[in-house]
Structure 1
Amino acid sequence: MLKLGVGREPFWLDVARGVRLQFRPISVAAILLARSVAADVLQAGGDDASIKAGVAFTRSLSHTGIAAWEGIGDADGNVVEPSPDNIDALLEHWPVFDAIDRLYVGPALIRDTEKNV
């Protein structure tokens, strides 16, 4: 059964100790943009192109999906907002990248295979 209107409101995920991110639900447009970004990385080729494409896919969805966060600051401890540069810096922390990939990106892709939106 195709379920319509499931999870259309922003939601919070704990991605590291003391760090919470608020995400927008993943839209069709966000998936298409992420696919395009990943395809560009694959076309560029090079060592580990498929791995880099996967990173680009998750990074793209993070850019469109992260609406707010708590527990994130600059090197001086000042609170920072989720800008593209700050999101990129956050994604350089492996545990956070992994949590976003598992808790945000993965379930959206599984929902697609289950024919659920």
Structure 2
Amino acid sequence: MAIEAHEGSSRRSRQVTELRAAISLVGSAAADLGWGARPDVRVLPDGRLWLDELQVAVSGAQVYQAARRLLAAQLRTVAEQTGVPVGEVAGPWLLSLHTNEAMLALDLELPQDDAA
């Protein structure tokens, strides 16, 4: 029973940290779009990120999970609002991202005279 309580507490602690990372992600994204102040984020010597506004250190994995859950919520909302399956929202978005990645991966070096 004590192990289950510890696991539940540990899971809750991870969820709180991920929510704090999500708050920072949304705040930063909103600031990038001109709304609100950009929160200060620093990389600590151990590789974790320090979210100054929330006074918490988070790992890359926690930031990834927070971003993943935020995007999942957005995909679900867009799909529900438009009345289409999630795949019809995510598929074109992924195609666009893959296309952009492929274009960046191409090594297109123009001769100096042609680069204007």
Range of TM-score over shorter length: under 0.3
User: So what's the TM-score if we normalise by structure 2?
Assistant: 0.25
Q: Which protein is richer in strand relative to its size?
A: 1
**With CA pairs under 8 Å and 6+ residues apart, which has the higher RCO, 1 or 2?**
1
Q: Which has the larger radius of gyration?
A: 2
Higher helix share: 2
Give the alignment's TM-score, normalised by structure 1. Answer: 0.25
